[in-house]
Chain A
């Protein structure tokens, strides 16, 4: 029994932010779109809480605030540089963030992805879950002409295939469209959702209404590995997580679960989550190879968007916004080709790359292109400096009869001892280069 399934304009593989942005934009413009998701429902594979950057979504669904399941509006950002028992931190809290419309929100991905998918379906795309794409179909000339799924009679054809299947993108790797991800280009992050009564969250973080806080952490918590940790406040829960480069974890023989346990016990973190109940635990890979690790982004009949293309800004922990933006740009490229009556050849799809170059996606990735390498080869940023900073703060804020000039000198000497003066200058230069 072979039944043929009709042909589509576009098949989108994956229903995360990238796939949803692409499918929504195409369906809204009247394209015949099929979106396939291997999970039981969109978001079922994405259980964590996260930060949503309004701008990227606003460009796709301008009035998303009316119906999207948003947890809290981020009005305060803290940066903590941590030592084993202390942290030095900055806080930026601005009531300007409180003025509507918000700029960043905390969300629970499982809920958000589900909502986004409903919008995709309302826009007219056919969304089918519990279908895993296992291979790409090609014609004799090698052009991608559809996908094969893990079910009987599972060959489905389309003019273009958009791969939005996330960091592992087995489909792309298997089809030889990109190399397997390397441990040095990917971070392993673990995250817990810790439930607390709404009032407790608000009291502990000095919040009212739907205000929210984000804390970014680095220092001794990553045990010298390249990595950072984060804490976000949701309505009645806290998302707490830590991520480190996979290659580092392998070398140090640590598990992410161990790191997270230590983080939870850190004297600065423990009181914030005390009494809470952990109900969700998720581990996930984050592509952090940055600009230098980007694969081919398009070819004959196919495009890569979101994590599967490696679009993550590790420094700012931005991923879903780049995913949504790249998904939208891929869709807009196909709409442009459609208007002009052009086929999805590699030459024509090059317009997608041009659009990316012109957007936050590749502009930011280019700007931060040296960060992964810098953090890799220059461990002092992650181990020595946090220790020194905390030592310095301790020295400076301990009122013990010592005059401030002597204190400053002691601090300076401590830095000098750990890193030569030349090394210090070099570090400043390297960090500046990396973020430039």
Chain B
């Protein structure tokens, strides 16, 4: 597959992985998170998305060199277009760039070995550790997500975990505890960051706009727990 459906490409992103990166937002997601702030990227087809060839995407990326250290693929869910991703990462490697991806972890990485070899780091969303909570939030099970969490860490490819913090609706504490538990064997082997994201209403679909982040006190508490558990850095946004 040499074409992909792209929602947008951001030439300079300072919030999608290490350093300055170009971020490519793929169209289409297999989750349907209530708090999704890019809901327009969820449908597999969208009038605002553009079908782009590998060459076209590369041309945009190339025009951003030498200001970027790499690219980050995001979405929607970028791994749903994994063939394209693999072809893209192969080319960007040749350009001396690093490849990061931001994923909801729904596609098993065990079946994407070649892609993973071309990937420098993964930002993995762990939305909820409790499966029924996860289903309620996203409409899908988290079984693969948690398997990916372990697998990526074991391969040294887990750059960052991301969890959106919502007051009362989810057991944020339970999630970070369980993630810490799963990653316990790997803290000694490399750095793993944790990004806690305060839920925000901007872009979120109307029925869910009332979601609020937990208190600052709670957030500080979560942060401390994560640092104690062994994460190299905890970022709160």
| A, B from the same assembly | no
